[in-house]
Chain A
Amino acid sequence: MAATQDAKGKAEGADQNFDYMFKLLIIGNSSVGKTSFLFRYADDAFTSAFVSTVGIDFKVKTVYKNDKRIKLQIWDTAGQERYRTITTAYYRGAMGFILMYDITNEESFGAVQDWSTQIKTYSWDNAQVVLAGNKCDMEEERVVSVDSGRLLAEQLGFEFFETSAKDNINVKQTFERLVDLICDKMSDSLDGDPAVTAGAPTAKLTDSAPPLQQPGCNC
């Protein structure tokens, strides 16, 4: 176990490089573009080959906001039913979700309601959600209108974007909005009942970083 110990110590040293760490999850049916979306955001790349994700994976990206360094730990989940147990286990610590469907795939849109129920079932109450209708570059094959996407988001209380991982449309914006929402929620919670944040999943993830006693992230 020595390797883990070493890695831990080292990593804790490295943790000083950021002020906050947010754990985000991307969920939605298989093949809607979750992996591509993360790939575009973290590595600014896109591939048209479909490699079905096994279980879970993640990437790390640091963003800056009002002089604060926010480390995003972004989890990419596999949409297939066989991975449901392992993926939902990672919902618990998440502060934000990108719930994705494919505007050319009616079924993936129909499943949004159920994914939203999954979030309510397995995640922290204050988790923020952005609904993303991906593949908006494929206008000719569109089967879900922008309006129905927006309406559903309103009903569920989520923010909404149409995106394209392929053409890099609204990818950065989606993540930035989610980070804003989390920051807002954090300052709300601090202004209000401190107990709300006491059990927040941040506690575990940022155990060596300055936790929530700093006044929000002034977003």
Chain B
Amino acid sequence: MGENMSKPSAKPFQDVTFFTSFKPYNPPATNDAAPPRPSIFSTLRRPPVAKPNDFIPLFSDCITAASSRTQEYLIFKDPEDKFHPSPDALTQIFLMTYISQSVNLNLTDIFNCTAMTPEQRILLGADWVWAVLEKSTKNPRIQIAVQVLHLSDKEGGEEDGVLPETCSESVQMAQRESSDRNMYERMVDFCTSVGKDCYALFLFFGRKNDKSNIYGVLSNNFEAAIGKCDKIDRALLENFFKGSRYLHTPSGMMQSIVTRNEGDPLTLMIKFS
């Protein structure tokens, strides 16, 4: 039995069907963080749909809701300049709005959103992971791991706002497990380990020259960038926008992702707000 195992191979069981088996006992969960109360948007919407690529306009709606809500807080300025919303709060506002909207639109059966646990945020570098689900198995077919970058972030991509005294023991442990790489590198490593159908999306809540808009750089090929530079930092990520003539819309981004040929590299810049 052991002989036919190829030791270092990345995908030793590629052709075996064992692992694709799946027995849902319950309707696949939407998301544990979803607040049950319908938002005002639910009344404005047509009933749910379930065709393969029909999710893109719905996704776009969810993003519009999340981005505009987040933007309200992003541009907030205390006249006394004492009160500043924390970066985590902004991430939470975006995610909560996105999740409630996607539940309202019944999007989660086709395209789900999984918020990471505090430990996973450190280990995998992602705040949440979006997934296009395979119809029959509900297994992810395409994934987008998302990390939010804030203007107030310290360099190095470390969790900020989380002081060592206030973070739990297991979060500290997770930090020790992954202290050899920064948060950007961890997310890229995670996506690379999954494969070309797993994208890394760095979501900028404000950029230096445009503090009130939300931008993103998405790629399934960041490892190529690491190959050339010895580390990934914010400057490197922001650099993607410099040479770029074209900013995609969120639905344009999703369209490119679902129509891309399997295995092809794809790198896009997106404006979310």
Contact = CB atoms under 8 A, between A and B. Distances in A.
Instruction: Please classify the interface of chain B as helix (H, G, I), strand (E, B), loop, or mixed, using the class held by over half of its residues.
Output: loop
A51 B138 CA distance: 11
30 contacts: A2-B154, A2-B158, A3-B162, A4-B156, A4-B175, A8-B172, A8-B176, A10-B172, A11-B172, A11-B173, A11-B175, A29-B21, A30-B139, A49-B29, A50-B26, A51-B31, A56-B124, A58-B119, A58-B174, A60-B170, A82-B140, A82-B195, A83-B194, A84-B10, A86-B190, A86-B193, A89-B193, A108-B21, A118-B12, A120-B2
Interface string B183-197: 000000010011101
A51 B158 contact: no
A55 B173 contact: no
A105 interface: yes
- Determine the interface band of chain A, counting residues with CB < 8 A from chain B: 35 or more
Interface in A167-196: none
A11 B171 CA distance: 10
A12 to B, nearest CB: 9
Interface in B119-172: 119-120, 123-124, 126, 129, 138-140, 154, 156, 158-160, 162-165, 167, 169-170, 172
Given A3-B159, A49-B26, A54 B172 contact: no
B119 A85 contact: no
Interface in B5-47: 5, 7, 10-14, 16, 18-26, 28-29, 31-32
A80 interface: yes
A137 to B, nearest CB: 12
Interface in B25-72: 25-26, 28-29, 31-32
Contact of B124 (A9, A11, A55, A110): A55
B116 interface: yes
A59, A82, A84, A107 interface centre (most CB from chain B within 10 Å): A82
B23 A7 contact: no
Interface string A91-105: 000000000001011
B19 A85 contact: no
B10, B14, B16, B179 interface centre (most CB from chain A within 10 Å): B179
A50 B194 contact: no
Contact of A58 (B22, B170, B179, B190): B170
A54 B124 contact: yes
A126 interface: no
B12 to A, nearest CB: 7
A31 interface: yes
A107 B21 contact: yes
B182 interface: yes
Contacts of B12: 84, 118, 121
Contact of A50 (B24, B129, B140, B167): B24
Nearest to B145: A54
